[in-house]
């Protein structure tokens, strides 16, 4: 460890509890990391106050990506909201599509066909793999290992090819619609998917050798960014970040949705709750997704409807109601809170992205006393995507 | 959920329970009781996870609805606690001391809905919008179309015809 | 930490000997997936310009624009979608919702241009190299965002209706109507096709909203005969319906009927009277004939404050709606309701008053500012085949009139009907009912000149007639009526090979080797009707300009005499809704003529 175990009394505080930082003393320096900075995840920035190379205070600033989706949706009919929700999270857009669709279906009383549930699960797991691959590249990159990012980007691209042939698009798939999914699997999809999965597995084996079994990586990440399991609920921590702290929180098992009750899996858990453990939990979770995709493809029905009969979507009205739909995305609990008022438009949509809590309150807490060179690694280890903070 | 509701109603003046799913229900509580109810839920009933805190603007009825969505992971269920607030001036007690993460939600609500949470950390700092001086944008009386018409210029050359109107002009223009 | 942690990372060097994974020439070698959602394609011949794509586009990326080469016609607005790729988000909802499947997306996704405005174009019109791309996103089979199947209409089963004149069609209940109204995409293509341009999308919307009074209000803006048209309209609007291309057309006629069925008659009267001019009438109008044309004009004129008197030769108003259309299709009390609304507007209807006998047309002219002639076609045409002068060879209109009068006459056990139009079906089905009542069985044979698929009657009329036991024989021309011992015994027909010659003129071509004889104690001719112009008198007949056997009228319905207008079947035909449209037009034209002139003093 580079620091004294207990640095909590540093810097000192004023009697009212606020930090005693006098910038004119020359001891402190204000430093902006982001919004354009290779060590930042997406478009956000952290306002750091450093003393020497140690961070004494960090404030997250967002606002570079705000498009007001929640408000835009209040002006769009229920079907018109479907193409915009995916844009709330670029690397893993499918959770937006699923959560929104499921919320609309629940309030509108639509019965989604069984086959659509399987295809949705497949898509969500494919998206999870993509998101983790992007994360692994970022996590390694934050510590200067550019090569990992090149490898994971390559296999991620293969998965994007699978997305393209399944949904007709690589990034914003717009495939999970209220009512079901647009179409079934294309011919020969299983085989090409199996080839992709093998490529991912082999790449991950390399990643394990080069990134995880790596003295430098271990030295930099073990013990960094410790999250006390006791604060997990206080800070709304979910997903792999919570599981790395030994808390087996996984919506797929706790409140199963889609076809997860029929799949065989156990949440991946770690114990040390540091950057290394979080990375490792994600790597193992990724391999579990590979296994889940194999299970899904082996067991999913191959014929039957993929869409529930919809009313005329041009004047689709949904009765008064409210609901919350959640799913376990690669970063934690993703959820949609949808309120309807009997009109053809949502009254209110609130998107609960895991980054909202992770990148704000949690990061601001963890960043204190961190070495400035570790800020990027710490931030990436929370696996945050700014668009879902601002929406 | 009924069992929980029955236990809670002994101590709190709750509104009707809306059971949306077996694992999700909503209930309304007077604003004065919110804090004690949340504490009770957190410490006695295992609802330790604040999933989200957000607002719904019921402009026509003249109030805001705050929704505190609480999750009990062990029991695998959620309770949405609703509080109705007057719209102007809208103000609510802060719960950042119960869940530090609530400060972020409250900051956003302050900015987007104009609901104040006195005492919440950095609540008056800009969150997402910088230098916003108009109506808080997530209020229903903020007209996004009007805003965009005022602020942005449309692409020149865009114009559309209504099929029925166009057919009238083409096929029976003389009639009114 | 171990030694392996130091050595293991060096395994990355093995990639030194691997081929690159990047595609060397992405500009040529990487077609989009077969389902790729790339640049739009539009089959402009299939496209009907309904604008549904524009309506569903969440980003306002689509404009409907006029295209020089594409003409506006019935069922096709002539507009085509133009897509602004500065806004398009490639969601393909426009493809999913397209009513004709004309719109699709190619798998082409690369396009570089220095001009930003080039990225706003009309697919299919502004030609692009991907217009013929085989691959790309097409709406998957069965993937529909608007309802495709018409809500079935409750009807009496053939057994229940075959011996009764009770109305066959039950009408939608509220739930059914809402479902059917939900399917409408509100494009409005039907409005131009409707002769009187009813506000179809708007009144269908009132069903969805449950606002039936507003529905009635909209109906009365263009049509005072919604009870009638809601039942027997030829619903040409439905042939222009966007939904018919890949599914059933919206049941516009039944939805109209549903609206009028939901509102109490007294309330309908109040709504119809909204906006009525209350000042005492200035001009006086005489209308000859209380059919749809005459009564519509009467409604408009009376509502505008003019004095209207309608002269009707028959005992009750309605014209062909009463004396031509059988009761099982249009119950008399429903017709009476429509007429009652018109009367309540202050229209005076004098029944049993025959112009030319009880009152002369000159008198009408003297006592009124203007006169409308709307006498309809109440004389049946004859085939003039041998034997057709016999008293048991009768015209359909005459027989239908007698049935409406309630005359109880004996129908022979076998009847032959000549004609393939709706009137032929009406009389065949009416006589079949009477036969079943009188003899317990049906013996009606209907012969039509046209082939089955070219018959003029509505398809449902043909099908229902067959269900009720009428034998329908297409492609048969009448040759002669067989008379035995002074009584009609049968009809001889011959196979008709074709009805029209190469120039499209009526010139039936028969195959004389195929002759059939149909037993018949009564032969009914339903091959067309004529107007009885005797009431005009010699001098007026002389003075008027004629076009073949019809009075010549201009677009406003004016004859060559400045005080006389003419409308209805007698001058243009062919159905109620056309007559209603003519009635409106004439009322407007008369009022235009009144403007600036003072009323005659009477």
Contact B163 C49 (CB under 8 A): yes
Contact C58 A167 (CB under 8 A): no
- CA atoms within a 13 Å half-sphere pointing along the CA-CB vector of C168: 22
Contact A219 C4 (CB under 8 A): no
Which range among A4-18, C30-44, C181-195, C285-299 shows the weakest confidence by mean pLDDT? A4-18
Note whether B33 contacts A: Cβ–Cβ < 8 A: no
CA–CA gap between residue C428 and residue C431 (Å, rounded) = 5
What's the pLDDT score for residue A4?
Answer: 54
Quote the tokens at residue C379: 């004389």
The answer to whether residues C479 and C501 belong to one domain is yes
Q: Is residue C101 part of a domain?
A: yes
Cα nearest neighbour of A171 on chain C: C90
Contact indicator for B106, B117 with CB cutoff of 8 Å: yes
The answer to whether residues C428 and C513 belong to one domain is yes
The answer to whether residues C181 and C264 belong to one domain is yes
Contact A183 C147 (CB under 8 A): no
Contact C78 B167 (CB under 8 A): yes
What's the pLDDT score for residue A28?
Answer: 85
Note whether C23 contacts A: Cβ–Cβ < 8 A: no
Q: In the predicted model, what is the mean pLDDT of residues C81-97?
A: 92
Which range among B127-136, C199-208, C292-301 shows the weakest confidence by mean pLDDT? B127-136
Q: In the predicted model, what is the mean pLDDT of residues C287-298?
A: 91
What's the pLDDT score for residue A1?
Answer: 42
What's the pLDDT score for residue C1?
Answer: 67
Q: What domains can be seen in chain B, in order of their start residue?
A: 2-153 (3.30.460.80)
The answer to whether residues C437 and C497 belong to one domain is yes
Q: Is residue C138 part of a domain?
A: no
The alpha carbon of residue A11 is apart from the nearest alpha carbon of chain C, in Å, by 33
Q: What domains can be seen in chain A, in order of their start residue?
A: 77-353+375-390 (1.10.645.10)
Tell me the CATH number at C311.
Answer: 3.50.50.60
The answer to whether residues C239 and C183 belong to one domain is yes
The alpha carbon of residue C533 is apart from the nearest alpha carbon of chain B, in Å, by 31
Q: Which of C244, C272, C300 is the last residue of a domain?
A: C272
Among A96, A138, A129, A120, which residue's Cα sits nearest to residue A391?
A: A96
Give A-chain residues touching C145 at CB under 8 angstroms: 79, 310, 312-314
Q: At which residue do the structure tokens 């990225």 appear?
A: C119
- Report residue C66: phi and psi, to 5°: -70, 140
Note whether A79 contacts C: Cβ–Cβ < 8 A: yes
| C559-564 contact pairs (CB < 8 A, 24+) | C559/C373, C562/C593, C563/C365, C563/C369, C563/C370, C563/C371, C564/C365, C564/C370, C564/C371, C564/C372, C564/C373
Note whether A75 contacts B: Cβ–Cβ < 8 A: yes
Interface partners of C (3+ CB pairs, < 8 Å)? Answer: A, B
Q: Which of C231, C246, C272 is the last residue of a domain?
A: C272
The answer to whether residues C213 and C263 belong to one domain is yes
Q: Which of C76, C103, C121 is the last residue of a domain?
A: C121
Q: In the predicted model, what is the mean pLDDT of residues C340-368?
A: 88
Q: What is the mean pLDDT of chain B?
A: 88
Note whether B154 contacts C: Cβ–Cβ < 8 A: no
The answer, yes or no, to whether residue C113 has pLDDT greater than 70, is yes
The alpha carbon of residue B146 is apart from the nearest alpha carbon of chain C, in Å, by 15
The answer, yes or no, to whether residue C251 has pLDDT greater than 60, is yes
What's the pLDDT score for residue A346?
Answer: 93
- How many domains, chain C? 4
Question: Residues C373-424: pLDDT tens digits?
Answer: 888 888 888 888 888 888 888 889 888 888 888 877 888 889 999 988 888 9
Note whether B103 contacts A: Cβ–Cβ < 8 A: yes
Question: Residues C36-54: pLDDT tens digits?
Answer: 999 999 999 999 999 999 9
Q: Is residue C152 part of a domain?
A: no
The answer to whether residues C219 and C237 belong to one domain is yes
The answer, yes or no, to whether residue C600 has pLDDT greater than 60, is no
The answer to whether residues C251 and C301 belong to one domain is no
Contact indicator for A152, A131 with CB cutoff of 8 Å: no
Contact C5 A213 (CB under 8 A): yes
- Report residue C287: phi and psi, to 5°: -125, 125
The answer to whether residues C293 and C265 belong to one domain is no
Note whether A76 contacts B: Cβ–Cβ < 8 A: no
Contact B20 A106 (CB under 8 A): yes
Q: In the predicted model, what is the mean pLDDT of residues C444-455?
A: 89
Nearest to C77 among B155, B166, B175 (CB): B166
Tell me how crowded residue B125 is: count the other CB atoms within 10 A of its CB: 11
Note whether C84 contacts B: Cβ–Cβ < 8 A: yes
Note whether C66 contacts B: Cβ–Cβ < 8 A: yes
The answer to whether residues C399 and C471 belong to one domain is yes
What's the pLDDT score for residue C241?
Answer: 92
Contact indicator for B142, B136 with CB cutoff of 8 Å: yes
Contact B101 A339 (CB under 8 A): no
The Cα-based distances of C236 to B151, C31, C75, C555 in angstroms read 47, 46, 10, 21
What's the pLDDT score for residue C486?
Answer: 86
Structural domain boundaries enclosing C347: 278-377+546-594
The answer, yes or no, to whether residue C366 has pLDDT greater than 60, is yes
The whole-model pTM stands at 0.87
The Cα-based distances of A277 to A268, A270, A356, A378, C126 in angstroms read 11, 6, 21, 12, 57
List chain A residues with pLDDT less than 70. 1-11, 38-41
What's the pLDDT score for residue A5?
Answer: 57
Q: Is residue C532 part of a domain?
A: no
Contact indicator for B140, A75 with CB cutoff of 8 Å: no
Contact C51 B155 (CB under 8 A): no
Tell me how crowded residue A183 is: count the other CB atoms within 10 A of its CB: 21
Note whether B170 contacts C: Cβ–Cβ < 8 A: yes
The answer to whether residues C397 and C517 belong to one domain is yes
Note whether C18 contacts A: Cβ–Cβ < 8 A: no
The answer to whether residues C522 and C550 belong to one domain is no
Give C-chain residues touching B175 at CB under 8 angstroms: 197
Q: What is the DSSP letter of C359?
A: B
Question: Residues C516-553: pLDDT tens digits?
Answer: 888 888 899 888 888 888 888 888 888 888 888 788 88
């Amino acid at each position: 460890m580079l620091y004294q175990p207990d640095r909590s009394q540093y810097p000192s505080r004023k009697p009212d509890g606020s930090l005693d930082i006098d910038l004119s003393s020359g001891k402190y320096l204000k430093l902006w990391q982001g919004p354009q900075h290779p060590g930042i995840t997406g478009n956000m920035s952290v306002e750091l106050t450093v003393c020497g190379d140690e961070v004494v205070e960090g404030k997250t600033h967002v606002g570079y990506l705000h498009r007001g989706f929640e408000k835009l949706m209040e002006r769009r009919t229920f079907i018109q909201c479907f193409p915009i929700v995916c844009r709330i999270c670029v690397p893993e857009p499918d959770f937006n599509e699923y959560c929104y669709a499921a919320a609309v279906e629940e309030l509108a009383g639509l019965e989604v066909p069984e086959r659509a549930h399987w295809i949705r699960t497949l898509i969500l797991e494919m998206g999870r793999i993509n998101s983790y691959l992007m994360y692994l590249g970022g996590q390694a990159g934050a510590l200067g290992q550019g090569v990992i990012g090149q490898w994971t980007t390559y296999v991620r691209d293969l998965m994007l090819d699978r997305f393209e042939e399944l949904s007709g698009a690589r990034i914003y798939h717009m495939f999970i619609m209220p009512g079901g999914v647009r179409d079934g699997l294309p011919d020969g999809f299983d085989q090409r998917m199996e080839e992709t999965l093998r490529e991912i597995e082999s790449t991950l084996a390399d990643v394990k050798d080069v990134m995880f079994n790596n003295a430098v990586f271990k030295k930099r990440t073990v013990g960094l960014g410790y999250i006390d399991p006791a604060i997990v609920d206080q800070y709304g921590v979910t997903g792999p970040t919570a599981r790395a702290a030994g808390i087996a929180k996984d919506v797929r098992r706790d409140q199963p949705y889609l076809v997860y009750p029929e799949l065989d899996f156990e949440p991946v858990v770690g114990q040390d709750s540091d950057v290394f453990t979080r990375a490792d939990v994600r790597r193992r979770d990724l391999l579990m997704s590979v296994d889940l995709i194999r299970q899904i493809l082996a067991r999913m029905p191959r014929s039957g409807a993929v869409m529930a009969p919809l009313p005329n979507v041009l004047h689709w009205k949904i009765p008064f109601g409210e609901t919350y739909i959640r799913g376990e995305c690669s970063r934690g609990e993703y959820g949609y809170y949808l309120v309807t008022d009997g009109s053809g438009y949502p009254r209110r949509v609130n998107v609960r992205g895991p980054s909202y809590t992770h990148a704000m309150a949690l990061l601001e807490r963890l960043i204190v006393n961190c070495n400035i060179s570790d800020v990027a690694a710490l931030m990436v280890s929370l696996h945050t995507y700014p668009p879902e903070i601002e929406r | 959920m009924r069992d929980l509701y029955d236990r809670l109603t002994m101590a709190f003046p709750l509104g009707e329970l809306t059971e949306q799913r077996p694992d999700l229900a909503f209930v309304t509580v007077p604003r004065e009781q919110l804090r004690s109810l949340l504490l009770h839920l957190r410490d006695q009933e295992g609802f330790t996870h604040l999933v989200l805190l957000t607002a719904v603007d019921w402009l026509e009825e003249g109030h805001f609805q705050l929704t505190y969505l609480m999750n009990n992971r062990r029991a695998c269920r959620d309770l949405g606690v609703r509080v109705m607030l007057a719209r102007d001036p809208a103000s609510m007690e802060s719960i950042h001391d119960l869940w530090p993460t609530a400060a972020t939600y409250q900051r956003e609500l302050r900015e987007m809905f104009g609901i104040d949470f006195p005492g919440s950390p950095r609540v008056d700092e800009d969150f997402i919008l910088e230098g916003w001086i108009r109506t808080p944008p997530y209020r229903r009386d903020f007209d996004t179309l009007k805003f965009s018409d005022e602020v942005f210029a449309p692409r020149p050359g865009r114009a559309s015809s209504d099929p029925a109107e166009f057919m009238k002009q083409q096929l029976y223009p003389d009639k009114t | 930490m171990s030694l392996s942690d130091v050595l293991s990372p060096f395994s990355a060097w093995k990639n030194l000997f691997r081929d690159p994974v990047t595609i060397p020439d992405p500009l040529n070698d990487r077609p989009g997936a077969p389902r790729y959602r790339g640049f739009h394609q539009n089959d402009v011949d299939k496209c009907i310009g309904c604008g549904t794509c524009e309506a569903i586009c969440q980003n306002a990326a689509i404009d409907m624009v006029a295209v020089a080469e594409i003409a506006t016609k019935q069922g096709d607005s002539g507009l085509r979608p133009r897509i602004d790729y500065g806004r398009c988000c490639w969601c393909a909802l426009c493809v999913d919702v397209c009513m004709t499947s004309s719109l699709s997306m190619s798998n082409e996704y690369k396009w570089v241009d220095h001009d930003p405005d080039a990225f706003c174009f009309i697919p299919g019109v502004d030609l692009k190299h991907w217009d013929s791309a085989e691959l790309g996103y097409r709406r998957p089979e069965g993937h529909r965002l608007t309802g495709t199947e018409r809500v079935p209409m409750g009807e009496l089963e053939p057994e229940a209706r075959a011996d009764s004149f009770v109305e066959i069609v039950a009408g939608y209940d509220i739930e059914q109507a809402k479902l059917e109204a939900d399917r409408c995409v509100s494009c409005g293509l039907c409005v131009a096709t409707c002769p009187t341009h009813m506000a179809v999308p708007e009144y269908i919307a009132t069903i969805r909203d449950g606002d039936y009074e507003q529905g009635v209000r909209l109906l009365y803006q263009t049509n005072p005969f919604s009870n009638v048209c809601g039942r027997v309209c030829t619903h040409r609007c439905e042939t222009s319906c966007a939904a018919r291309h890949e599914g059933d057309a919206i049941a516009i006629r039944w939805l109209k009927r549903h609206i009028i069925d939901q509102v109490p008659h007294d309330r309908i009267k109040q709504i119809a009277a909204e906006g009525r001019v209350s000042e005492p009438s200035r001009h006086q109008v005489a209308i000859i004939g209380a059919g749809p044309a005459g009564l519509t004009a009467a409604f408009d004129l009376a509502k505008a404050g003019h004095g209207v008197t309608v002269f009707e030769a028959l005992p009750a108003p309605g014209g062909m709606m009463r004396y031509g259309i059988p009761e099982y299709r249009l119950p008399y009390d429903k017709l009476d309701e429509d007429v009652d609304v018109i009367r309540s507007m202050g229209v005076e209807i004098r029944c049993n008053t025959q112009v030319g006998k009880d009152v002369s047309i000159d008198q009408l002219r003297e006592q009124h500012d203007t006169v409308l002639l709307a006498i309809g076609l109440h004389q049946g045409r004859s085939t003039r085949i041998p034997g057709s002068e016999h008293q048991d060879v009768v015209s359909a209109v005459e027989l239908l009139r007698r049935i409406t009068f309630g005359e109880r006459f004996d129908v022979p056990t076998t009847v032959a009907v000549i004609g393939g139009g709706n009137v032929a079906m009406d009389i065949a089905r009416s006589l079949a009912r009477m036969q079943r009542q009188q003899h317990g069985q049906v013996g009606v044979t209907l012969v039509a000149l046209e082939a089955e698929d070219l018959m003029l009657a509505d398809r449902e009329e043909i099908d229902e007639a067959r269900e009720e036991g009428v034998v329908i024989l297409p492609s048969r021309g009448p040759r002669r009526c067989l008379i035995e011992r002074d009584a009609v015994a049968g009809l001889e027909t011959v196979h008709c090979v074709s009805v029209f010659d190469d120039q499209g003129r009526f010139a039936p071509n028969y195959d004389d080797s195929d002759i059939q004889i149909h037993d018949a104690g009564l032969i009914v001719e339903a091959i067309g009707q004529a107007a009885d112009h005797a009431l005009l008198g010699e001098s007026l007949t002389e003075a008027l300009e004629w076009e073949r056997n019809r009075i010549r009228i201009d677009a406003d319905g004016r004859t060559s005499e400045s005080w006389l207008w003419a409308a209805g079947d007698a001058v243009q035909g062919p159905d109620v809704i056309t007559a209603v449209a003519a009635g409106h037009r004439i009322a407007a034209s008369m009022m235009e003529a009144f403007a600036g002139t003072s009323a005659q003093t009477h």
